[in-house]
Amino acid sequence: MGTVLVTGGAGFIGSHLAWSLIEDGAAVRVLDNFSSGIRDRLAQMAPGVDLVEGDVRDVEACQRACRGVDAVFHMAALVSVPQSVADPATSEAINTGGTLNMLLAARDAGVRRFVFSSSAAVYGDTATIPTPESALPMPASPYGVQKLTGEHYARNFCRLFGLETVALRYFNVYGPGQDPSAPYAAAIPKFLARLLRGEPAVVFGTGEQTRDFCYVGDVVAANRLAAAAPSEAAGGVYNIGGGGRISLNRLLAMIGDALDVRAPVRYEPPRDGDILHSGADIRLAGERLGYHPTTSLECGLRETAAYYRSMRPR
């Protein structure tokens, strides 16, 4: 593999991927505008990373980032469902317009493989769980609509222009490095941060809604497999999950065990755009990409809890 580009490489998943690639000797370029990414993450990788500071809404920045690149991992996005509900226009410009800009830039630069980070949000509330990729997408939020649109663009570019694209539908990704302080932070880092402060975790709904949680290391592995998979995998869409699902109430009990603390809960009304149940059928990713998650939820939560405990002020 030659030079690889990670858009959003200063973000949570993107920085884990960039580190993994650098450790294996790859030449890594990152495109990031630091709207949510953390600059210090890239500083820790120096001099192993080539930074292009820019926004995926900027056509010239996308073109500059793609020059001389063999593979693109397109992770830059506005990833929050609630934020997409609150401001659909901005999330549309980033998630749909930015993806189209990157696909055009990759095509014109002669990129070999384009790995698109999609989301289980494309499914919405589906009756089929675990959900296969063949299930009819019915997104319940603008974010889900935008990710589904990105998948269609990726497939079109594969068929029309010969750009090998692979779309990965992430389920709930967690692990060390997620920011619990963001207004729309993911559930696990928020739960951990509040419990470590001795505050109750906040659950929207009854807590009996279920999710498929996937450790960030397994998501990194899935991306690398997608970049190296045979051409037959191109144009495809693949679920990337942990291989099981759990209720938020049970998850909180496990987080309490990992922290060795009691896990009090405060329940609040459900949020617009949230779904009740989510679980991945990952058989196709196993068959076509060789993806098999290796980190159990128990182990992943212990690793994540240890990270957040170590980050607390002394």
Rounded Cα distance between 300 and 306, Å, is 10
Instruction: Judge whether residue 218 has pLDDT over 90.
Output: yes
Residue 186's pLDDT is 86
Q: Cα dihedral sign for 250, 252, 253, 258? A: positive
- Tens of pLDDT, residues 170-197: 999 999 999 888 766 789 999 999 999 9
Instruction: Judge whether residue 103 has pLDDT over 60.
Output: yes
CB 170 within 8 A of CB 119: yes
Residue 183's pLDDT is 62
Give me the percent of the chain exceeding a pLDDT of 90. 89
The per-residue DSSP string of 10-56 comes to TSHHHHHHHHHHHHTT--EEEEE--SSS-HHHHHTTTTSEEEEE--T
What does the pLDDT average to over 18-46?
Answer: 94
Instruction: Judge whether residue 44 has pLDDT over 50.
Output: yes
* Residues annotated as part of the active site: 143
- Tens of pLDDT, residues 123-159: 998 889 999 999 999 999 999 999 999 999 999 999 9
Rounded Cα distance between 251 and 302, Å, is 12
Instruction: Judge whether residue 244 has pLDDT over 90.
Output: yes
Nearest alpha-carbon partner for 223 in 24, 72, 105, 108: 72
Residue 314's pLDDT is 46
- Tens of pLDDT, residues 219-232: 999 999 999 999 99
Enumerate long-range contacts of 26-29, CB under 8 Å, 24 or more apart.
26/1, 27/2, 27/3, 28/3, 28/4, 29/3, 29/4, 29/5, 29/65, 29/69
Please name the residues in contact with 314: beta carbons below 8 A apart, sequence gap of 6 or more: none
CB 207 within 8 A of CB 248: yes
Residue 118's pLDDT is 98
Instruction: Judge whether residue 105 has pLDDT over 50.
Output: yes
- Tens of pLDDT, residues 78-91: 999 999 999 999 99
Instruction: Judge whether residue 246 has pLDDT over 80.
Output: yes
CB 122 within 8 A of CB 139: yes
Q: What is the mean pLDDT of the chain?
A: 95
Residue 210's pLDDT is 95
pTM of the predicted structure, to 2 decimals: 0.95
Three-state SS at 212: coil
Q: Which domains does the chain have, with CATH numbers?
A: 4-174+215-241 (3.40.50.720)
Residue 313's pLDDT is 54
